[in-house]
Structure 1
Amino acid sequence: MFKLSKKETFSQFQALKKSLSYRFWVTTKRNALVSLWESQVSDWHTLYTQPSSPCEYYGKCGANSVCNANNPRCTCLDGFVAHINRSMGCVRTIRLTCNKDGFRRYTGMVLPDTSSSWYDRNLNLQQCKDLCLQNCSCTAYANLDISGGGSGCLLWYHDLIDLRHYPQAQGGQDIYIRYSDSELDHSHKNGLSKRKIEAIISCSTTFVMCMILGLAIWLWKRKVEMEGMKKIFHQSRHNSKLRKEEPDLPAFDLPFIAKATDNFSDANKLGEGGFGPVYKGTLIDGQDIVVKRLSNTSGQGMEEFKNEVALIARLQHRNLVKLHGYCIQEEEKMLIYEYMPNKSLDYFIFDEIRSKILDWSKRFHIIGGIARGLVYLHRDSRLSIIHRDLKASNILLDENMNSKISDFGLARTLWGDQVDANTNKIAWTYGYMPTEYAVHGHFSMKSDVFSFGVMVLEIVSGKKNRDFSDPEHFLNLLGHAWRLWTEGRPTDLMDAFLCERCTSSEVIRCIHVGLLCVQQRPEDRPDMSAVVLMLNGDKLLPQPKVPGFYHGSDKAYLSGKFKSFSYNDVSLTVLGAR
């Protein structure tokens, strides 16, 4: 053991004193920081449990959508459109090419959620951009630390969630979002030469004025059409009052629809009707759609187009086709529907081969679905709607052969206690047109009932009323069905294929209901609520009376070939379940 000198002893004492002071300082500081942190956490908790703006709610606008703090609302980023499911935000209209992409700068932004991001503190902004371009999944980049003079690199992958924009006075940060090269503005790279500018300036005043006038006319026409699309036209009893409401439907951009249909290629064309050509399309998310494109030569025009959007946008029923949105841009007017893989009813029942796919149980199910859809239109919806164009080609079938009513271009709304209306324009389809409409232009809910009855007899027989002619008695399908009924042979009307496996009582009940629906006098026809009960066997069926257009087609009747006639009511008792 050795002794320390006085000098060494004093040095050690000073070191010990300094060490104890440091520990005391650290402990004091630590306690103060803990207290400050707890206070800050409490303040943050209060702040985030009571957001000062709707934009403060996480993910309020969904993916690739910006919440504007000044006027809280959600808007898609440039080059994006609203997803059909609004809660999912927005989707790109043009896919990224990976090899030829660039970026757009957005200022005053609160950066999106960083759960799918990556950062590096040592990269500058240019290196950050280059690194993002090297990865096809990278969708955006920004500075990691703007307070440090714009240093560091922050990269995002996949969708951008919780984007917010604040006025410049409230700060915000720049973010660079990735786009396909075709969507970027390169005008600064291709400046006009002095000679080109001089050539443009030297154009004659007359030419310039013509261009301005033409543009003004086009803009005015465009404004009128857009305002027309955004307003719902409601008819009063005399069609004099108009009430305007916004349809809750997304408007799709023309390039978006062109991309989905491969620029309206013939390979995607499903067919063509009175409205115009119909195309199948596929959205970026893989969902199939149907696009009805109004033809310039179509008998239907802007009024029918607006009418269909106005009505079907507000209808929701499993037996009505769903309208996803519309497009009205440049000279194009289009409706976008859900895709029905099994096409329309006439595609099956009037074809000798395909009709065998529809056995009796499927046909009975289809009849019931059409009836329930009509009950909704006539009674259960907020509007009382007369379809006015029910026919086999306007009944679409989904993957499970569920029937859905489509094409509301000619539909009309009844108001209050109104039960019928008149028109001077004949627009119904021959073969499904009721007598009171063909002769007097008078229509009501019972007019739809007549068309439904025609379809029931067509579904049972597999024959089209408009084309059928009984060679022996010169009767149309309605007259043929009536003759078989009065002779006690209703099942002879059945499609021969159905005889193998069917429930005869159901077939007879459907024929009975069909004949009740096509009776000549509208007041004799049942309403659709009663028809559903009849089809289910829950209501007694009265004896039918002679149908409308008994002797032949409605077209022949209109031409004056057939005169009025008298008839005797004939009763027939059919044994079987009612």
Structure 2
Amino acid sequence: MADLPRQLLETLPRLLLFNFKIGRINKKGISRKISSLNIDYDKRRRKTSSSSRSLKSLRQISVTADTINVTQSIRDGETLVSSGGIFEMGFFSPGNSSNRYVGLWYNNLTIRTIVWVANREIPLTNTDGILRVINPGLLVLLNNTNGGTIWSSNASRSVHNPVAQLLDYGNIVVRDANDENPENFLWQSFDYPTDTYLPGMRCGRNLQTGLENYLSAWRSNDDPSPGEYSFHLDPTGFPQILLKRDESVQLRIGPWNGIRFSGTPDGREDPTHRLVFVMNENEVSYREETIDRSVITRFTINPSGLAQRWTWVDRRHGWVVYLNMPADICDSYGLCGPYGSCNIGNSPSCGCLERFVPRDPEGWVRADWSNGCVRRSNLSCQGDVFLRYSGIKLPDATYSWYNTSMSLEECRTECLRNCSCTAYAQLDRSKGNGCLIWFDDLVDIRSLSTDGQDIYIRMASSEAGSTRKNRDILIASLTSAMGAILIGLSLFLCIRNARKMKKEETFNGSHDKDSELPSFHLSVILKATDHFSIINKLGEGGFGPVYKGTLEEGQEIAVKRLSKDSMQGLHEFKNEVIFIAKLQHRNLVRLLGCCIQGEENLLIYEFMPNKSLDVILFGNGYMSPEYAVDGLFSVKSDVFSFGVLMLEIVSGRRNRGFCHSDSNLNLLGHAWTVHREGRSKDLIDPCLGDSYYFSEVLRSIHVGLLCVQKNPEDRPSMSSVVLMLGNEGELPEAKQPGFFTERDIVDARSSTSTNVPNSTNEITITMPEPR
């Protein structure tokens, strides 16, 4: 028996050659065969010294195995080695600690460098650990002393023949023995990184499972349990990278701009790898694809919160730091406060963006920049412009909105029409398109000497210094006017949805947490309106009656009592009320709050003594022909109304009662006639003087005429209108407008609309009443 191991060793080459010839074993099978032999020899290891020496030789061979199955295990002192010999897995003790952990490290480097730890939170206090694979497909670490489980992987499904394999790029995986497809792995260490990022890992979030892949620092060099610092790809708003201390952001890189994360200059990138960013319905993540596989590199976060890129240099026999984050004081998150910009070349480093001033000048002198800066000229929404700021790291995109297909001009238009929009920028620099919009104060801006980006910040018109000033003002005016028309549609949607709410729920209390929109109790409204007394009724529309009321403190209100035929739920109703509440503008009636209680659904507005908007709007035939004649309403009816309003703005004349000494046409007919004859300048309001660009006004007239065409099918959509106003492309020819008529001016002025019959024939009418 003492000679048995030696005899087997002498016959082993012939045995392996035989197996190769009959196709019963492959390269990995060799390792498995040796490993199984090793288990048999282990039972006899203490019998003779010659047996022990032979056993040691076999163990040295067994470390080349990269896979174990359910019949095999790894004990303390044994290891797995990836097939190419690059990574090794086994037991280790960190720093000066005597605790034992299972980890991964580089196999062929002179310095043992740990890249992953399995049982980082529960160490072994002895050398009796066993790592093995068990059914239905779990990798487990057991304490052989008491049989307890120290650590275990997880699996979403089971297989009949699981194995654990260490791959050459540092990933330990659990899979079916007959299935090497990465998509079918039961578990992999790359999904649960510790303090090290290796090329090929994904950092981000799986939107289907909710699993987040992120780095977390060791607590200390002797303790690999999770410490204070972590490194995330945050998908909130538009994805960006955050270095956090517990929940506090310490450093931010991003957002992704199609090439790299904003604020990462070329000098900070590793040329041996290419970043790949993925954002779809399944995941938001990034990974590094290796360009030069001969370069060994890793990215770590240490216990003190320093993130570093390391590269192995053979001639030095050690690791060299390629970059540090934070690299300087300007990497500190939000150092200069809102609208402050950090420039490492200045002293002090913090300064206000151009045309901004310190919010707290005294604090600024004390180097306390936390309060940041404010615009030196207040915004007014209507008439605001956008100014370009170049060479910066884009601000925090947590409170942002994006569209991947918009052009930069479309992005500008979208931002301009929303008074809450503070800035916009191009989203994808690689494709030259995409739109990123901010809705909050701009925070964490720094000046970059190379590879900075452009951002367009909303400013008061008095700050404009470019030739686009008047065009900005014109479009701002038109989009604000469009908002006045479309708010009616928003109200319609809100009202339609109110009645589907759950009747047992109430929407009461002092304030709604999400919207900060006051909620009135029904008893307060009943008292204010004298129980909806007929005396207090202001009018009634398709959405329900409106009542005047007076609150106890004396404030006058208008209460819209919604009709009871809507079928939407409470959640949707609340969301739409919140949306309407955000559409506050000095030219729009203000929504003070709402009340949903029992059968009542009420919107409470400030009271306007000069009557409601519809008296003015409808008094000016804004109604489309199909609605006035046939009672048919569609989104193209709104387009018609917007077109009339636009022509009124350009001409300075109302559509109703318009007269011109050269013709008996209404405003629409006159505008179409002078446009067709090349005399559009005759339509422009003389009060404008020379303070406009003729080409822009001509374009506005042309777009307005496209909006008021007689047939709804010929009119553009409102999104197309916005694009046509903001772009320079060729416009289609306008057809005859609706209500185009030559009329007797005296009759038109003296007649009342009630004497004009509705008709579906091909005739023209003057001042029809709505059905």
Q: Confirm or deny a common fold (TM above 0.5).
A: no
Task: Return the TM-score normalized by structure 2.
Answer: 0.25
Task: Return the TM-score normalized by structure 1.
Answer: 0.32
Q: Tell me which protein shows more helix as a share of its residues.
A: 1
Q: Tell me which protein shows more strand as a share of its residues.
A: 2
